Amino acid sequence: MAAKRQKKPDSARTQPNRKSSLYGVPTWIGGRRSRAASNGENNGNGEPTSGGAGDASSGGAAASVRNVIDSCKKILDDQVERGRKAASAQGGAFGSLSDQAERMIRAVSDAVIDVSTMWIDYIGSVTQAGDWFPRRDAQDGGQPTVQISPAGAATVDLKLAADTELETLRFQPLMDSDGNVWDTGIQAVAAPSDDTWFRLVVRASQPEGRYHGAVLDETSGEVRGTLSVEVKRT
């Protein structure tokens, strides 16, 4: 009898997924073993699932951020236009420069204006994706809760993601789900015993609420994840 012909298995796909994932974390980083994939926060395409993994507050926060973006856009459109006009009014100021130099400098200044609008576009696109809080929290599992009493400050220790050094992170001020920003009161400090943990110090006067804030890479400014903490009063 003739041997049975072997057939290759069909691949799930035959093309790369070129869509940039949010926050500069492409699909292949960490591979199968990545935290995001293993705890079900990744839809397999490397994009965080929309809806913030069940965080009820994130929808409201995303909406408020969208409003901010919209109003910023208006302001900027208007102001950038004014800037452009003003810049072109200065057009004659090149004096002794060659044509080539003049063209180049104009291109540079135009680009600067574009760069400023880029960040609006980018933030806008992030919010349109409906996932301002992708929930790549610093801690595995649910949202950490910290109980504070009027008597004094409280702390909560959170585990850092693997391969992350505290010094490389910048914590944005945390914001509650209405879009109100609370200046300080929650700070990150290295837990003394172990550098893979960090500690949030919560002032006794901190109002109750769910707080969220981006955690950025100190040097590149990229968003590394989001920190969400609920503050409850005893």
Partner 1 sequence: MSKPIEVAVIGGGCASITAAFELTKPEHEGKYSVTVYQQGWRIGGKGASGRGADDRIEEHGLHIWMGFYDNAFRVMRECYEELGRDPAEHRIATCDDAFFEGSQVGVTERMTDEEWNVWTTCFPSTKGRPGDPLTDNSPFSVASYLSHAVKLVATLLKAAAQEPGGSDDEKEEERPRLRDAAGLLGQFRRLLGYAQLGTLAGLVEALQALESVLGWLGRNPKRGGAEGSLLADLVHKLSAGIRGFAERRFAKDAERRRLWEVIDLMLTIVRGSIREGLMTHPDGFDAIDHYDFREWLEKHGASPATTDCAFVRAVAYDLIFAYEDGDTDRPSTSAAQALRGGMRMFFGYRGALFWRMTSGMGDIVFTPFYEVLRKRGVKFEFFHRLENVKLADPATLEPGERPYVEALEFDVQAKVRGGAEYEPLVDVRGLPCWPAEPDWKQLVGGRRMKEAGVDFESFWDKEKKSRKTLRVTKDFDFVVLGLGLGAVPYVCSELVERDARWRRMVERVKTVNTQAFQLWMHPTMEELGYTGPQEVTVSGFVEPFDTWAAMPHLLSEESWPEDRKPRSLAYFCNVFPTPPGALDREDTSYPLKRLAEARENAVDFLNRDVHRLWSDAASPKGGFRWQVLVEGPGGGSAAKKRSGSARLDSQFWTANVNPTDRYVLSLPGTAKDRISPLDNTYDNLTVAGDWTACGHVAGCVEAAVMSGRLAAHSISQQPPLEDIVAYDHP
Per CB under 8 A, contacts with partner 1 among 48-107 are 64-65, 67-69, 71-72, 75-76, 78-80, 82-83, 86-87, 90, 93-98, 100-101, 103-105, 107
Rounded distance between C-alpha atoms, residue 58 and residue 50, angstroms: 10
Among 11, 193, 205, 234, binds partner 1 (CB under 8 A): 11
17 and 27 in contact (C-beta within 8 Å)? yes
214 part of the interface to partner 1, by CB under 8 A: yes
- Identify which of residues 145 and 168 has a Cβ nearer to partner 1 in the complex: 168
Smallest distance from the beta carbon of 126 to partner 1, in angstroms?
Answer: 9
- Give the pairing type, strands 223-233 and 145-148: parallel
Smallest distance from the beta carbon of 165 to partner 1, in angstroms?
Answer: 10
189 part of the interface to partner 1, by CB under 8 A: no
- Identify which of residues 89 and 151 has a Cβ nearer to partner 1 in the complex: 89
Rounded distance between C-alpha atoms, residue 229 and residue 210, angstroms: 6
Nearby residues of 102 by Cβ (< 8 Å), 6 or more positions away: 94
Please work out the total of residues on this chain that contact partner 1, with binding judged by CB under 8 A: 98
Among 92, 151, 183, 192, binds partner 1 (CB under 8 A): 183
CA angle 26, 27, 31 (to 5 degrees): 120
Smallest distance from the beta carbon of 58 to partner 1, in angstroms?
Answer: 15
| Nearest C-alpha neighbor of 171 from the set 187, 194, 191, 155 | 187
